[in-house]
Structures are given as C-alpha cells and as structure tokens.
C-alpha cells in the first residue's frame, strides 16, 4: 500500500504528492470533479485545503464532510516528477528546433 506523506495543491486541479517510498508524483484531480462525491472540490478554495489523513489526501467540503482519494489509486494514476522533467526537456528541445528520434521515445 502507498502512503502519502505530503501534499501540495497545484494549478489546474493538479496535486504534487510525496509518497512514503520517496517518490514525488503529480496527480490530476480534474477528471474527478464531474463525480458527485468530488464536485465540491471545484471550489478552488476547498481544493487548495488538501491535507493528509491516515496516509490519504483528504479535503473537507463546505458542510465539513471528509472527501479522500485512495492513495494506491492516486499513485497508479499519477505521473512521476522525473517523467515530467524528461517531458519538459524534450519539449524545450523541440521548441529549439531540434528533433527527437523515434528510438529516443519511451513508448511504454
């Protein structure tokens, strides 16, 4: 089981999450906002008050009810910050007019 040890809300309903195994990952919560249980998180002031409860990212809605996301699900659906750095570097190369070979791309 994955355990969250820190959480930092980001722009566009993304969350920087640090896990007990030392990994930092970015989770995109935007797809959840259409589900009834998560709709109150559309209020950015509520979303930005994320905290950790028993190893899971948790919020309190306007009525004081707790909303959380399973840490294992969050881990599986998130992107490693290392992967994001590699993607950003590749984008910078492309913007500079360089090309990336087919073999240099991790297609997994």
- Please give the mean pLDDT across all residues of the chain: 87
Chain segment 25-76, per-residue pLDDT in tens: 999 999 999 999 999 999 999 999 999 999 999 999 999 999 999 999 999 9
Q: What is the pLDDT of residue 108?
A: 59
Q: What is the pLDDT of residue 82?
A: 75
Structure token pair of residue 66 = 């707790």
**Residue 21 scores a pLDDT above 90:** yes
Q: Residue 81: pLDDT band by 50, 70, 90 thresholds?
A: confident
**Residue 83 scores a pLDDT above 80:** no
Distance CA 39, CA 94 (A): 37
Distance CA 85, CA 39 (A): 31
Q: How many structural domains are present in the chain?
A: 1
Q: Exposed, middle or buried, 57 (CB in 10 Å: 0-12/13-18/19+)? A: buried
Domain that residue 45 falls in: 4-104
Q: Residue 101: pLDDT band by 50, 70, 90 thresholds?
A: low
Note whether 2 and 74 are within 8 A (CB). Answer: yes
Q: What is the mean pLDDT of residues 6-24?
A: 94
Distance CA 41, CA 5 (A): 21
């Amino acid at each position: 089981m994955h355990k969250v040890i820190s959480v930092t809300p980001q722009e566009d309903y993304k969350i920087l999450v640090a896990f007990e195994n030392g990994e930092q990952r970015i989770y995109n919560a935007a797809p959840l906002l259409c589900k009834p249980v998560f709709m109150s998180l559309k209020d950015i002031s509520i979303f930005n008050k994320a905290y950790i409860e028993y190893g899971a990212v948790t919020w309190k809605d306007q009525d004081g009810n707790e909303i959380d996301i399973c840490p294992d699900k969050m881990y599986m659906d998130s992107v490693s910050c290392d992967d994001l750095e590699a993607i950003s570097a590749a984008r910078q190369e492309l913007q500079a007019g360089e090309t990336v070979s087919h073999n240099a791309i991790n297609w997994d």
